[in-house]
Structure 1
């Protein structure tokens, strides 16, 4: 219990210490700027806000803090201890760098593999040239890759719990047919406590509580145990790491997508943690583990992409009816019981032959409404709504049979969020321009009459 309390105290220090709190604030600011774009896209597509940028950011920070505490406890009881001269903090600095500039490689499997390979190369150069000062990174591969494996287990749980929040409805064309789906992107900031082995001469230089080594000797793994001396102590240092997840699905609901992705990430984490134990067999095995981490992670991503291209699309309209892709919370559609995946087969007692009818309804051009919907399992249900407010929209996104000219539907073919939001902005500008032209024409006509 004392070990757990010490670890949690270090995590609390990461949050409360002014310098660390400043780092957290900077991370939260980056999150907020990204979430403003997501919230704006949701409002443009849905007609109303689903999640505010503030809500999206707070959930990322709060959930990340709990995940960081859990990860820190796992690190401690897994016996992960780093040498005081190691540069393990580089792993977390690289993750922060990728978050800001290269989100595609934000994963610790890439930064861990690069850091480990560079460490081995420097170590080889130091031994070959008999120059110990060249071993500047000095990271034990067993400890490093076990850490990366555990971080992926934590990441998988975060994706399963919170990965579907802030999803953006998107569309693409497959086999000359429009299909709908969701673009997912989430980040979490994790304050983590890592154990560092200190010599008696340097322990007074570390901020935070240190614990004498006998209490944790039975937990420690890796070659660091060979360097333990009688007066050595272990201290916890607080670092911030960023875990990110992104994906696009056209074959699953957003919840099913994150459950599948999260489960795959957790399996990968368990597998990497197990394979990392081979590092005790020598340098060749250590190189294999580092390459294994990056290659298998990339293979996992390609497997998910292959599944998306080969599985049947979930959201597409047909001659039978119009597919509902997303429903805004607290909207009239939500109150009617309409859900994502429902098929609208009748509108006010008639089959939907002209899509313009449903688009007018979506804009709120009705006082009362009767719909017949078909649930994913085939059940038919009649739903009604009356006394519609004049400034209210129905609150759904549908998958059209063909792309209409006057709607904010966005086609997405492996495009970035920035490109998608630019498309939406351009559509809004075009609509505003058209409206202005119509008003000018009306004014000219009125002047001609006078």
Structure 2
């Protein structure tokens, strides 16, 4: 049995490697580059610099996607979530990319899978006005399971990396400026699918698996031959887009990850019980995109109508971001902090703070109000040169760029590529 397990793992790794060198993987990498470049331009508009090179973001995302793809592939093949692969399954990624031209959040197999699933119910080889319609014959439980699997992997990536490198933006609510943080992460996902096919005999070199395997059974009625399971390489893309207005990016991404995890588990349970139950397959195809849309829209409404967490203060200076390797990072300043006093002098605004720092204090103590409502004091000695810059990017009263949340929520790939604001 242990020998069979290592054979399965080895074959799975081969399939993942094949997916990495597939042309679709390169297309996904190109789309990721375009989207990260667009986000970098937005970061420069707000901060006047880019904190991390696009190449570094790309490498991190690619490695994370590959590692999650490998781990999930091994787990899913060993447990046994098979899919009956039809020729129309290849349209999942192209349909998802076409939908993303309208809105980035549609770059998701839940919408593409829902569309193909509904079409599979409609097109069953029947005659219509003298023409024979195609028989799509798609594995609906397999599609539901695939979407559930992908979203479970996405939830893990969001939980681990969703809040990393969030981009500060300035918004205006109720006549006051506030800062928000936009999370935009993309992961190319090469992974292996367990595919079933009907053959007249078991091919040579097959691996014998235990009786309980696979977990999902009875997907094909009366196959008329021997069911053989093989491992098939596939490429997908996972994207996370969110805006933290009323919470921190870490809290927002954690909430989103847990919601997606619950959604994915619901789909996987539905997929397990869906074979031979047409009504459950139809319900799953409808709920798959509907529940995903509800999760996103509810999150957007919550942020749009809630009170901003990072409002422009009546007194003091709100830290929008920190300069890389600047004094603020060394002192332990954090995004959202409000600098209240410097050496006992109350700060009115950013210009007032700059005037105070022009004294080049050799010893500095800074009173700060954290985003958690707690006060703290930071001390720093800079003898003999003194300090005149805390290394922060402040939330100023007249920002250079102000964004509307409604516009941020409806960005499509077409708009990204066309360069429209």
With normalisation by structure 2, the TM-score equals: 0.83
Q: Does 1:290 align with 2:285?
A: yes
CA distance in 2 between counterparts of 1:131 and 1:279 reads 31
CA distance in 2 between counterparts of 1:245 and 1:181 reads 16
| TM-superposition CA deviations, 1:395-422 (whole Å, max 9, x none) | 323333x32xxx5343333334989x99
Q: Does 1:134 align with 2:134?
A: yes
Alignment partner, residue 11 of structure 2: 9
Q: Which aligned pairs between 1:233-244 and structure 2 lie closer than 5 A?
A: 233-244=228-239
Most deviating of 192-201 and 7-16: 7-16
CA distance in 1 between counterparts of 2:47 and 2:95 reads 36
Q: Are the counterparts in 1 of residues 367 and 378 from structure 2 also a CA contact under 8 Å? A: yes
1:32 Cα deviation from its structure 2 partner? 2.2
Higher RCO (C-alpha under 8 Å, 6+ residues apart): 2
CA distance in 1 between counterparts of 2:8 and 2:132 reads 34
1:195 Cα deviation from its structure 2 partner? 2.0
1:49 Cα deviation from its structure 2 partner? 3.4
Alignment partner, residue 53 of structure 2: 52
CA distance in 1 between counterparts of 2:131 and 2:207 reads 32
Alignment partner, residue 197 of structure 1: 196
CA distance in 2 between counterparts of 1:388 and 1:88 reads 69
Alignment partner, residue 376 of structure 2: 380
CA distance in 2 between counterparts of 1:119 and 1:202 reads 29
1:8–1:62 distance in 2 versus 1, CA, 3 Å: farther
Alignment counterpart, residue 276 of structure 1, candidates 271, 274, 278: 271
- Aligned to 1:15, the other structure's residue is in SS state helix
Q: Are the counterparts in 2 of residues 193 and 236 from structure 1 also a CA contact under 8 Å? A: yes
Q: Does 1:398 align with 2:394?
A: yes
Most deviating of 304-313 and 291-300: 304-313
Q: Which aligned pairs between 1:231-270 and structure 2 lie closer than 5 A?
A: 231-270=226-265
Alignment partner, residue 89 of structure 2: 88
| TM-superposition CA deviations, 1:72-99 (whole Å, max 9, x none) | 2343244322335453232233334445
| TM-superposition CA deviations, 1:25-78 (whole Å, max 9, x none) | 332233223223333443453354322101110111110011112232343244
Alignment partner, residue 177 of structure 1: 176
| TM-superposition CA deviations, 1:245-301 (whole Å, max 9, x none) | 101111111111111111111111112222334524633332221111111111111
1:193–1:18 distance in 2 versus 1, CA, 3 Å: closer
Alignment partner, residue 328 of structure 1: 323
1:90–1:48 distance in 2 versus 1, CA, 3 Å: same
Q: Unpaired runs of 5+ in structure 1?
A: 427-450
1:82–1:146 distance in 2 versus 1, CA, 3 Å: closer
CA distance in 1 between counterparts of 2:322 and 2:289 reads 38
Q: Which aligned pairs between 1:86-235 and structure 2 lie closer than 5 A?
A: 86-98=87-99, 102-123=103-124, 125-126=125-126, 134-135=134-135, 137-200=136-199, 211=206, 215=210, 218-219=213-214, 221-228=216-223, 231-235=226-230
CA RMSD of aligned residues (A): 3.8
1:129 Cα deviation from its structure 2 partner? 11
1:339 Cα deviation from its structure 2 partner? 1.0
Q: Flag the structure with larger Rg.
A: 1
1:188–1:386 distance in 2 versus 1, CA, 3 Å: same
With normalisation by structure 1, the TM-score equals: 0.78
CA distance in 2 between counterparts of 1:389 and 1:246 reads 44
CA distance in 1 between counterparts of 2:123 and 2:304 reads 42
Q: Unpaired runs of 5+ in structure 2?
A: none
| TM-superposition CA deviations, 1:407-450 (whole Å, max 9, x none) | 5343333334989x99xx99xxxxxxxxxxxxxxxxxxxxxxxx
1:385 Cα deviation from its structure 2 partner? 6.2
CA distance in 2 between counterparts of 1:98 and 1:249 reads 25
Alignment partner, residue 410 of structure 1: 402
Q: Are the counterparts in 2 of residues 250 and 313 from structure 1 also a CA contact under 8 Å? A: yes
1:320–1:360 distance in 2 versus 1, CA, 3 Å: closer
- Aligned to 1:51, the other structure's residue is in SS state coil
1:149 Cα deviation from its structure 2 partner? 1.3
1:182–1:277 distance in 2 versus 1, CA, 3 Å: same
1:359 Cα deviation from its structure 2 partner? 6.2
CA distance in 2 between counterparts of 1:169 and 1:318 reads 17
